[in-house]
């Protein structure tokens, strides 16, 4: 049994069951980079403030670097030996530099330490997720640009509603993901607050230079209330909410991919490389990937609800309940990262069946609104026109025809002002072409949206493409 860092006031050995529930090393090991980064900054500051000597600080900084490299190589792998990542690093340090290593925790508590580590992690992972969101937006943008001439039915209530451009439909997802990107970016200000110096809850007694630590770790500001600083997990919840939002958007897109790949819709084909088969039905090709993205959305929501619930009854300040933030955070981060990556590749593996999409705009009275607008052009009020076209639709349905298949004579019985030009007016291509209002599905409007999106991608900061560190 290893001795606990807090073992001083204890006369009995910790029961193995306690460790089973209490230890977090099984999942917080991945914070090691941040724990060491924070320890180095703390150590240098202690020396600058003459709380420890320069030689002691140098020895510890060198040793911390070695510990990091050993951890990079998978060292200190036995979870049984450590309670959490903070004690692992501290013990490793004492093993390396001897008793002097015990000075590292001067003016610091694991409570402000874990807050620091988690903030450093979240700050980093936000950058990575933003990078992946950006990649996904670029893929969508490319697809939209490549399919500018493709018509498809737009839906409301999953009923065919009006013809739209496929590009317009795709760019709707670009907009969602752009909001997600911005949401993550905005959340950084609340993450980037440096808590060290808060110690356990009341603030440290030593003359710590908190600003120096903040600056060396790239924080914009220091926390202003030590009790809040050690018990604030709002920034984790922000992340979980933002990740849930991304997942919700990816899930909606996934749902469309699943629907569109059915025989019933037949709008897309997902390449074999991104599909799976059935163990019993030889003919099957299943869209497992979008289904899994849709499915994993549930766990992202679950983590958000889970941590909100964990936090809701906690008195100030730190409580061990808060250790429950980590698995939720890590899993949501991993999930959203993986799903963004897969969605980006999956979209590249989709072939749009443009003829089927266009044919679908010609069945289901999608141009009825345009016919009403036509009648408004002849001087009717929109309500009168709506009523008349409703009757024409019923009539056409009775004959199993579309509106444009009615003869001019038949049309004129509904309104004498309808003329030959109505047929051209009802061409789905032209109905789309009339919607160049900013934000509309007209080709010029969509081209403009794409152009603006390109500019936006060029000028926006933040986001990094690198994989986890």
Residues that bind ligand ARG (CB under 6 A): 24, 28, 84, 110-111, 114, 318, 320, 322-323, 326
The residue from 11, 77, 78, 157 that is catalytic is 157
For ligand ARG, the closer of residues 115 and 245 by Cβ is 115
Q: Compute the distance between CA of residue 270 and CA of residue 106 in angstroms, rounded to an integer.
A: 58
Q: Compute the distance between CA of residue 77 and CA of residue 85 in angstroms, rounded to an integer.
A: 11
The secondary structure of 32-51 as a DSSP string is HHHHHHHHHHHHHHHHHTTS
* Phi and psi at residue 351, to the nearest 5°: -110, 130
Q: How far is CA 397 from CA 85, 321, 359, 392, 400, in A?
A: 70, 63, 18, 8, 5
For ligand ARG, the closer of residues 110 and 137 by Cβ is 110
Please state the closest distance from residue 207 (CB atom) to ligand ARG, in A.
24
Q: Is 254 labeled as catalytic in the residue annotation?
A: no
Closest CA to 39 of 96, 91, 108: 108
Beta-strand relationship, 159-165 and 151-156: antiparallel
For ligand ARG, the closer of residues 86 and 169 by Cβ is 86
* Phi and psi at residue 265, to the nearest 5°: -85, -55
For ligand ARG, the closer of residues 110 and 119 by Cβ is 110
Q: Is 157 labeled as catalytic in the residue annotation?
A: yes
For ligand ARG, the closer of residues 247 and 333 by Cβ is 333
Burial of 9 (0-12, 13-18, 19+ CB in 10 A): exposed
For ligand ARG, the closer of residues 247 and 322 by Cβ is 322
Give the Cβ contact number of residue 169 at 10 Å. 20
Please state the closest distance from residue 202 (CB atom) to ligand ARG, in A.
13
For ligand ARG, the closer of residues 110 and 169 by Cβ is 110
Please state the closest distance from residue 106 (CB atom) to ligand ARG, in A.
17
Location of structure tokens 């679950």: 302
378 Cβ contact list (under 8 Å, min separation 6): 415, 417, 418
The residue from 53, 58, 271, 278 that is catalytic is 278
Please state the closest distance from residue 213 (CB atom) to ligand ARG, in A.
18
Please state the closest distance from residue 462 (CB atom) to ligand ARG, in A.
28
Structure tokens at 387: 């009523």
Closest CA to 39 of 256, 237, 196, 266: 196
Please state the closest distance from residue 20 (CB atom) to ligand ARG, in A.
14
Please state the closest distance from residue 28 (CB atom) to ligand ARG, in A.
6
Q: Is 163 helix (H, G, I), strand (E, B) or coil?
A: strand
Contact 128, 461 (CB under 8 A): no
So which residues are the catalytic ones?
Answer: 157, 278
């Amino acid at each position: 049994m290893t001795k606990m860092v807090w073992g001083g006031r204890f006369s009995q050995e910790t029961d193995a069951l306690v460790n089973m529930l209490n230890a977090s090393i099984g999942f917080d090991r991945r914070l090691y980079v941040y724990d060491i980064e924070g320890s180095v900054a703390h150590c240098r500051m202690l020396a600058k403030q003459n709380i420890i000597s320069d030689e002691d600080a140098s020895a510890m900084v060198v040793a911390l670097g070695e510990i990091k490299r050993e951890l990079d190589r998978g060292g200190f792998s036995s979870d049984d030996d450590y309670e959490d990542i903070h004690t692992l690093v501290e013990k490793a340090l004492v093993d390396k530099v001897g008793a002097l290593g015990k000075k590292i925790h001067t003016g610091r508590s694991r409570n402000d330490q874990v807050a620091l580590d988690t903030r450093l992690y979240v700050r980093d992972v936000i950058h990575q997720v933003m990078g992946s969101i950006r990649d996904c937006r670029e893929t969508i943008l490319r697809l939209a640009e490549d399919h500018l001439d493709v018509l498809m039915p737009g839906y409301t209530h999953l009923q065919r509603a009006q013809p739209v451009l496929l590009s317009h439909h795709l760019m709707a997802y670009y907009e969602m993901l752009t909001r997600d990107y911005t949401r993550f970016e905005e959340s950084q200000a609340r993450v980037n607050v440096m808590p060290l110096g808060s110690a356990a809850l009341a603030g440290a007694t030593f003359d710590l230079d908190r600003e120096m630590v903040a600056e060396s770790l790239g924080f914009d500001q220091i926390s202003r209330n030590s009790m809040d600083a050690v018990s604030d997990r709002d920034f984790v919840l922000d992340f979980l909410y933002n990740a849930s939002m991304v997942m919700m958007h990816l899930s909606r897109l996934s749902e469309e991919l699943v629907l569109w790949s059915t025989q019933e819709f037949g709008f897309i084909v997902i390449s074999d490389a991104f599909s799976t088969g059935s163990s019993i039905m030889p003919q099957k090709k299943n869209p497992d990937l979008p289904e899994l993205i849709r499915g994993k959305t549930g766990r992202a929501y679950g983590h958000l609800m889970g941590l909100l619930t964990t936090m809701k009854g906690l008195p100030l300040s730190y409580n061990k309940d808060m250790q429950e933030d980590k698995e939720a955070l890590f899993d949501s981060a991993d999930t959203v990262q993986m799903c963004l990556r897969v969605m980006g590749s999956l979209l590249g593996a989709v072939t749009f069946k443009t003829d089927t999409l266009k044919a679908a705009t010609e069945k289901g009275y999608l141009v009825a609104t345009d016919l009403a607008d036509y009648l408004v052009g002849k001087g009717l009020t929109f309500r009168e026109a709506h009523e008349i076209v409703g009757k024409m639709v019923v009539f056409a349905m009775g004959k199993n025809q579309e509106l444009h298949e009615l003869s001019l004579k038949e049309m004129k019985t509904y309104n004498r002002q309808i003329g030959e030009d109505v047929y051209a007016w009802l061409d789905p291509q032209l109905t789309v072409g009339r919607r160049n209002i900013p934000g509309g599905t007209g080709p010029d409007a969509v081209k403009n949206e794409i152009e603006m999106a390109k500019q936006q991608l060029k000028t926006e900061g933040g986001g990094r493409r690198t994989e986890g560190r």
